Every structure is written in C-alpha cells, then in structure tokens.
Structure 1
C-alpha cells in the first residue's frame, strides 16, 4: 500500500486531501499541530508535530511515498510570519522528505503567483516553490485559482443588500471546491506532473458572482463599482492601520481582484449549489 503524508491536514483543503487519498487506497498519515482538532480526519495515522520546529519532524516520513503540503498561514493570530510558515515550515518538511528518501513532494501554491510577488503571503509561497524545484526530489506544484470557501464574501455582501466591487467588475475567476481540488491534486501526483494550474468547471466575472450570490440569498442584485484606484490605495494603506492577520489576506484578496484568476477547468461541483447549501447552513 502506498503511503502519503498530508501537511496542513486540519485546514480547509487538507481535510479533503486526506479523504481523497484514502478513497484511492493510500495509507494516509496526517501531520497535525493538535490531535484535538483532528479527531474527524479521514486518516490512518495522526502525527502531532510543529513544522516550524525541525526537530519534531525527524523520522515522521520514513517509508512515505509522497508528501502533500497544504500548509500555510491564513488568518492565524499567533506571531508566526508568512516566511516562518509558508516558506520555512514547508522547507523544513522538504528537507526531512529529502533525508527520508520520499518519492515525491507536492505543494499547493496559488495561481498567477509571478504577478503577485509584491504580496507578502504569495512571496513566501513563491520562494518555497523555488526551493522545491531546485530539490533533487520529484515535485508537483498545484496552483488553484481560488476556493469556493473564499467566495463567502460575495454571499455576505449580498445578504447585506449590496455587493461592492472594483471597476470594471469584468475580471474573471473559476473557483474550485476543496474536494475537486483534492482530486485534481491526486490526479497530478499520480501522473507525475510537475505543475498544474487548476480551477472549477464554471468561470464568472465578478459581476456575475454578485448576481449569483444575490440569487442564492433571494435578494435583488445590487452592485456598486468602486474606482480601481481605491483598490490600489487600500492595498498600500492596510499594513499601516491593521494587524497582519487582517491586512495579509486582504492584500492578497485585493490583488487577485485586479486580475483574471482562471485555471484549467476541473471537477463537477458547482458554485451555485455551494451557495445554496451555504444559505441553508449546510457544510460543503
């Protein structure tokens, strides 16, 4: 039986990765910071360790065929920086994988990273990808366009009665459900692919997303387009007036809103259905 170690296993994507590899018959080891948060994971083994502390990783990858890392900071409130986690913690994992002779290392990155190097969150990820591609280990990089879970802001605005966008509102994105992204990741590692840009089956403009969210909450689609210079100004001002846990994700969001985020269409799950389930209070 093939063995995979999933890092970032208790995160949004990590849970789907564990379930997908288990479904395909892999022995799944989940790397977790706390067993208490991992009781519902689909995994054969839980390994409690801190990827930011290399000593805790020693020996955990012996016999593993594959490591898949979805490890990264989102809205953590601790004092770790993007470089500490998105770069250094993943590098610690990579160095241990090299020592253990793991067959392949896969990493979940972000689409259009080269155009977002000025965003600290993306810069740390991109620096790790450089290290990964320079490693003697075979590697796979998955670059998703955006997650269904990221689209919750559209629903929140639609519930409030108005969706605020940046002009012209015609930038496009094809977000992907976590389960479909996990399947695309497993397909890519099974095929030995070096890189895969991925997105969901449906592509929307931001205005179309606003209308979809409004329909889901049963309200008229009211959209206001803000001037794009305001997006750029907000990007520069946010670090001066908010903590990193706020301005870090916001800077990424603001940057992504200014470009097309369309990856290769994958999966079968539809954002319309996800919105409907979210409105009903169901977990998807």
Structure 2
C-alpha cells in the first residue's frame, strides 16, 4: 500500500489536485480557482519552458498521450481534473488520440495511484451529437470513466464566451448569417465562472452537471448583441437549415480534418438548444465590450513598422 503524500498548512491537510489541460483556456481558470480555495495544484504541461505563468504549485512535464510518461506522477493526489482535448487536429493527433486515449491514460494512472475522484470537462447534449468525431471521442471516454471504480464528476458546459467570438467577427464584417430562424438558445459561460462551478461540483460530490452562464440568448439575440457592442445597426440574414445539413455532409469530403472537425461540431451545435443550469456572475455583453476594448487598445499601441530608408 502506497503512502499518501500530503502537505500541511497551519496544521491542516492540504488537498492535492492534478490538472490536465492546465495551459488551455479553461485549465488556467481551474488552476487559479483550486489554488484560491487552498488546494495544492499540480499542473500537467508538455513543455514548461513555453508555459506562461499559471497558478500552480508544481509543474509536471509529461505527455498524456504517452502512458509511460505519466507513470507515477499522481502519487499522493486526491483529485484529477481533466479539460484535456483538442479543437484542431495538429501534430498528427486526432480526437481519439487525445480526447479519448490521453484521458483514458490519465484515468488508468489515477486508478493505479488510488486517486479518490476524477472530474472531466465534457460537452452539453453530447448524446445528440454522437455523429461528431470530437463528441464521439469524448463520450467514449465518459463511458470508461463511469465504469471505473473511481468516483467521478462530469461537467457538461453549454459553450464558452470565447466561442461566441464568431458572432462578433461576423458583425464586424457587416452581417451575421444564421441557419433556420435563429431561435435556438444557448447560455454560454465565462471560463472563470465555469471553474467555480466545477470546483463547487467536485467539493459537493456531484456526479454530473449540465452548466451554462447566467444569461440565455437565442441566436438572433446573440447577433443583435454583437452589433450593439460595435455600435452598429443589426443586419442578420437567415439561411435555410438545409444548407447547414448539406455543409455537414460535405465537410469531411472536401476539407482537411483540422478544419472539418471543429466545423462539424459548430454546425451540429447550432441546431440544438444548448442551455445548462445557470451559474456565474459574468455577462456576455461585458465580455464583448472588453474584447473590443482590448482589440482597439492593441491597435492603438501597435508599433509602426520601420520605414524603408531612402
């Protein structure tokens, strides 16, 4: 029987969390939230030299896709949290290599280390997108996790604020294009709020949480919000949903996997109501306005290119 390694803070046992995907969008918020609550945070990273500062007490350099490289890294860990996954297929890896197999490697190592709980960031309404490769890989891992003897917490978010940037991009171009009548709803959530909901769920022993942000929008309202943030009149064009379905069939035939993968997820999610339990205090309107302010500031302070000397 392995001796559990612990640290103490003023006589109290400090819980240890191992976070995979720590350098990603959500992973950074997870590290910060766990550390703020007094957990000892161990972050899995591929290359520490290339990591921007994150709220971690310890960095572990390893590749989750290589089971041998993570052998023994979870000794003394109480909890594993994985937001590991890929949005674009690079480095010759696909969804089954990362979203499924890398997470399965983490789960098997957690079982060997005697970890008490494993939390995983999934996707809302996965059962309705089983034909999407990214979702299929995630769902296959969730099935493995639920069969494990380790207690689990599965977090299924509706979508991130960062995913809504497509509406701002289209609005900047002068027109937002929507499929159908724009009535499908979503309550996207900020990464910091999702981290809070995740840690709450873990600490409360919740098995599954469908989660979204505090505000529910239909797609037409998202478009109008994007235009309002830009100070522009709303211009929305509604396309027949048949075009979306045709695009889904053609993507895998005529586009590379790194493009068709995320596009198939996006087009499939557009046809669903993606509304989770309402959590958080951050609002999409403020996020849009902050994003635009940051873009304008960067543009103003961009150094001019050196002029050619005559």
State if a TM-score over 0.5 links the two structures.
Answer: yes
Q: Could you tell me whether the CA contact under 8 Å between 1:10 and 1:37 is conserved in 2? A: no
Which residue in the other structure is 1:164 paired with? 177
Q: 1:52-71 alignment to 2 at 5 Å?
A: 52-71=65-84
Give the TM-score normalised by the residue count of structure 1: 0.98
Which residue in the other structure is 2:280 paired with? 267
Which residue in the other structure is 2:137 paired with? 124
CA distance in 1, matches of 2:278, 2:245: 29
- The alignment partner of 1:214 has SS state of helix
Give the TM-score normalised by the residue count of structure 2: 0.90
Query: Does the alignment pair 1:46 with 2:59?
Result: yes
Which residue in the other structure is 1:244 paired with? 257
Which residue in the other structure is 2:186 paired with? 173
Superposed CA offset, 1:202-258 (max 9, x none): 000000000000011111110000100000110110111111111100000000000
Which residue in the other structure is 2:235 paired with? 222
- The alignment partner of 1:4 has SS state of strand
Which residue in the other structure is 1:88 paired with? 101
Structure 1: runs of 5 or more not aligned = none
Question: How big is the shift at 1:36?
Answer: 2.6
Superposed CA offset, 1:129-157 (max 9, x none): 00000000000000000000000000000
CA distance in 1, matches of 2:205, 2:69: 29
CA distance in 2, matches of 1:22, 1:76: 31
Which residue in the other structure is 1:185 paired with? 198
Larger radius of gyration: 2
Which residue in the other structure is 2:34 paired with? 21
- The alignment partner of 2:294 has SS state of coil
CA distance in 1, matches of 2:30, 2:51: 14
Q: Could you tell me whether the CA contact under 8 Å between 2:117 and 2:151 is conserved in 1? A: yes
Which residue in the other structure is 2:112 paired with? 99
User: RMSD across aligned C-alpha pairs, in angstroms?
Assistant: 1.0
* Residue 124 (structure 2) aligned to one of 106, 111, 130: 111
- The alignment partner of 1:225 has SS state of strand
- The alignment partner of 1:280 has SS state of helix
Query: Does the alignment pair 1:204 with 2:222?
Result: no
Aligned residues: 283
CA distance in 2, matches of 1:102, 1:114: 28
